Structure 1
Amino acid sequence: MGLEPDNMSGSSPEDIVNAVFGHFDPKNPLTFKDEQFNSDPILSEKALCLVYILGADTIQFTDDRLIEKLQTVRQRISEKEIPQVIVMTKVDEACSLVRNDLRKIYSSKKIKDKMQECSDLVGVPLSYIYPVKNYHEEIDTKNDIDVLVLRALTHIVKIANDKLLRSDFNKEQPLTYKDQHYSCDPELSDQSFCLVYVIDANIVQYTDDRLIDKLKILCQRKGKTDP
């Protein structure tokens, strides 16, 4: 059961948020007051990526009440830095060009506009939106359809895996050589050989001085390891 516009229909945003965080009992409604509420879930009980499924052919008709629920979920999940993606379905019903040739999906202005609508509605970046075509009248599988679905699933698994690898990272308490997980003698395969800084050209002039100081520290520390 997904989200519905009416307050008394479908899942509540709070149920979805608690399920993602692992605070759930599959047999009972979720509240923090419940004695069976899981207040300290282990990693395997948590979700590592939240996937929204939105139809490209109906996105423009989304009820304002449903939009509010989606944005509530996104904001709560974002607080925990859990990645979120959108799988945009029914692209063939949103664009006749794509209906005739699915390979034109990334050159279609209509599809790009639909992806932008999804991004504006939920707040998920365009790079995390994956357009796909549903199977509904096909008798056999088709490579063009499968490639899009496989691409979306592959990226979702990678994003979730990246979150898993970062799960033990504490941004408020940096790792030190005294930490039990600190590797004093890392193997070659555990080391990085190039540090890449990604900076937007259109906002570089507005970079906060505190961030500049952090970048300089990184550069200085990295320079000390050079031969």
Structure 2
Amino acid sequence: MSATSDKQSTLQYLKDYKPHIEGRQLRVLVYGPAVAGKSSFINSVKSVLEGRICTLALVDNISHDCFTKKIEKENPNTFYPFVFNDIMGLSDRKGVLVEDVKLALMGRVKDDYVFNPEHKLSEGDQYYNTTVNPNDKVHVLVCVIPADTVNQMRDEVIRKIQEIRKAASDLEIPQVAIITKIDKACPDIKEDLKNVYKSVYLKEKMEQLSVNVGILMNCIFPVRNYFEETDLNDEVDSLVLRTLRNIINYGEEFMNHKMSQSEDSDK
């Protein structure tokens, strides 16, 4: 299968995707250091699905907002059955509080909550979700790290990532990592994006990321986000689509597993 036909096949798969469980919505929580490319990835997903360069999330998301983003389909007022939670970046000083991320994983944070780096969300707050339905909970946790700063991650940021990962593991939530800005980290990739799977340098960065945060190599996906472009690029699209398809598959498997557990407990 050629790269173009493979891209079209994956694109069609994502356009046709529906959770096996009726009425369910797959929720993806995207987190990581500030300016890692979290919002740019969501924008890139929207661009590829719509076939044009789009802006959905705020790209420099260093603000305190939580953005729950739905992506509209070709028919007005119809949306893909997956949403992204794009939260403010982790930091060694300020940034999103780990305790708030843990609450978000459990579906306790309402979509319009403004994250406060000084005070965690508490039960009884108007933005604390007391009644949680399955669509409120996170089904896939995605850590976004820039390839050009993997070796510069501060110990405190790594500790926070590991703590968030531990909370997600306790909830059995599947986890992946996206390594962004690969063209900045590797001149060969900047020259030709097709070199992404040949680059020894990028592989070393991915291995370092795996060691730092404990995510397996086969769960780390290289991505080149759209940022300044005005037109789509097949190679960029293919990386974004491959990553999104894996995220969707992990989330679908998790939802089905949870449903199976629920049915077993009812017997």
For residue 58 of structure 2, what is the aligned residue in structure 1?
Answer: none
- Structure 2 residue aligned with 1:3, among 87, 90, 93? 90
Letter in 2 for 1:94: A
Deviations 1:69-103 (A, max 9, x none): 11110111111110011111011111111111111
1:13 maps to 2:104: no
- Structure 2 residue aligned with 1:77, among 164, 168, 174? 168
Q: Structure 2 length as normaliser, TM-score?
A: 0.60
- Structure 2 residue aligned with 1:53, among 144, 163, 172? 144
Q: 1:40 to 1:167 in 2, by over 3 A?
A: farther
Distance in 2 between the 1:21 and 1:55 partners?
27
Deviation at 1:39, TM superposition (A): 4.9
Letter in 2 for 1:87: I
Taking only the aligned residue pairs, the percentage that are identical comes to 33
Distance in 2 between the 1:96 and 1:143 partners?
19
Within 5 A, what are the aligned runs for 1:97-112? 97-112=188-203
For residue 134 of structure 1, what is the aligned residue in structure 2?
Answer: 225
Structure having the higher strand fraction is 2
SS at match of 1:150: helix
Distance in 2 between the 1:126 and 1:17 partners?
24
Deviation at 1:122, TM superposition (A): 1.4
- Runs of 4+ in structure 1 deviating by more than 2 angstroms, as ranges, are 25-29, 31-40, 134-139, 173-176
Deviation at 1:51, TM superposition (A): 0.7
Q: 1:37 to 1:113 in 2, by over 3 A?
A: same
Aligned length: 174
For residue 27 of structure 1, what is the aligned residue in structure 2?
Answer: 113
For residue 198 of structure 1, what is the aligned residue in structure 2?
Answer: none
Distance in 2 between the 1:141 and 1:174 partners?
44
Distance in 1 between the 2:109 and 2:231 partners?
39
Root-mean-square deviation over aligned CA pairs: 2.2
Q: 1:31 to 1:147 in 2, by over 3 A?
A: same
Q: Give unpaired runs (5+ residues) of structure 2.
A: 1-87, 115-119
Distance in 2 between the 1:45 and 1:155 partners?
21
Q: Structure 1 length as normaliser, TM-score?
A: 0.70
Deviation at 1:137, TM superposition (A): 4.0
Letter in 2 for 1:20: L
Deviation at 1:121, TM superposition (A): 1.5
For residue 183 of structure 1, what is the aligned residue in structure 2?
Answer: none
- Tell me if the contact between 2:189 and 2:196 (Cα under 8 Å) persists in the aligned partners: yes
Letter in 2 for 1:149: V
Distance in 2 between the 1:39 and 1:129 partners?
34
Larger C-alpha radius of gyration, 1 or 2?
1
Deviation at 1:18, TM superposition (A): 0.8
Distance in 2 between the 1:168 and 1:138 partners?
42
For residue 95 of structure 1, what is the aligned residue in structure 2?
Answer: 186
